[in-house]
Structure 1
Amino acid sequence: MKKFIAIFSIFLFVSFKINTLILVAEAKTFSQGFYTMEDLGLYPNTPYSVQNSSTYNDGILIILDGNKTIQQIIRIKPSSPKYTLIPLMSDYVFILYGNFNLNFS
């Protein structure tokens, strides 16, 4: 009976460890180019922030709406803090200019 309890306890302990999930928001990194919301994998009406992970290069982020009207422009310096973006809509277009790596999170 003691062996059964010991084996059952070990099995129970291992089964709890197998089912644990660690959820972490993965940052998406992009370089110079033209992107849509779908290209970037972003969802409308979700708060996002951007950060330049490059240590030496700066860049510019331009956000345009469906009518090609500028909604936001951010000049992002090297190793910048996180900048909060405006609420995004599904028809927005992003222009990334410069030799830098931009992280969306």
Structure 2
Amino acid sequence: MAIAHGVAGTQFRSPSLPHRNVDRSGEGWATLHTDGGFVLAFQRVEDHRPPRWPDSAHPQQFHLDLGVKDLERAQEDVLDRGATLLDEGDGKRSWRIFADPAGHPFCLVRD
């Protein structure tokens, strides 16, 4: 059984992404509790097929835009933790697109 590791995966937590804790409260579940009170839940899935952004034949299951104060530092943090840079843009826009270690796309957006 594959686990859809996402932003909640302990190997992927980043100091640039404020969170209180990651709770592995049950078999096949992990939840990420943010400093602002927002909670994200991630569930184990059978035969997980990772997305291949922007390929619609392998669509994303979700998309997160994560606000960060320092885009350069946040990029370094997530790349060091296994993310892949998918689209850096033209260097002028305020966001960049990445994939987490399981292939789920997300954006870091400068606050």
Greater C-alpha Rg: 1
Shorter-chain-normalised TM-score: which range? under 0.3
Structure number with greater CO (CA < 8 Å, separation at least 6) is 1
If the length of structure 1 is used for normalisation, what is the TM-score? 0.27
If the length of structure 2 is used for normalisation, what is the TM-score? 0.26
